[in-house]
Structure formats: structure tokens, C-alpha cells
Amino acid sequence: MGSSNCKVYNATGTTGYKPKGSGSWIKKYRSVTESDASVCVNVECRNKINICGAHLVLDPEDCDNYNRTFIAPFCKACNHYSKTGVIEIDEDTWVVMVNSYYMVKVKNIM
């Protein structure tokens, strides 16, 4: 685990988006990161059931890449459109850029 957290928000208006060639966003995340992505990365949750690929945007106060959308593993409860506030994830979390095979640890784009 890293020593600090990064603030993210659920991206809005992305429910209907489908990944190219992967079937689901969590499958794409797992393929790109070569991980099982079996835990919600929200530091206040860490749920191990109903994991999906959440569309996230980074807090503009934390990094310069706030206008890009990334995928990370969240449980369905944390990936709900009603969750509009700040969510913290560990800075060592791998995030995958939507419609790309580019992945990076959050701390490297802050």
C-alpha cells in the first residue's frame, strides 16, 4: 500500500459506454493490469463482492490529468451515480485510461 491517497470522483454520464473488445470494463482493467482486481479500491470500502470497472476522474487539485477518464475496480455500491462526492483511493492504485491500453499508478500522474 502507498503512503497517501488520491481524491477521485465517479465520472458522470458514462453508464452506457462499452469497452472495445473486452466485454466489460472490469475485464479490460484486468487484462491491461494483469491483476485479478477483486477488491474495491475505495479506501473506505474494500468490498470484495460485485466488483466492476468504475469510470473515474481525478480531482483537479491533485493532478493535471483531471480531464481524462480512467477505469479502476469499485464495488457496484461505490460505482453508483448517487456517489457524487470525493472518493479516496490509494496512490499506488493502477488506473487504466478509457479507450486506451495505457495504465499508470495514480501517484505518477498527480
pLDDT, tens digit, for every residue of 35-54?
A: 999 999 999 999 999 999 99
**pLDDT (0 to 100) of residue 87:** 94
Calculated CA dihedral for residues 25, 107, 38, 51, nearest 10 degrees: -40
Rounded to 5°, angle at Cα 75 from 71 and 76: 95
Distance between CA atoms of residues 93 and 21, nearest Å = 24
Paired strand residues for 51:
75
Regions of the chain with pLDDT less than 50: 1-3, 110
**pLDDT (0 to 100) of residue 102:** 63
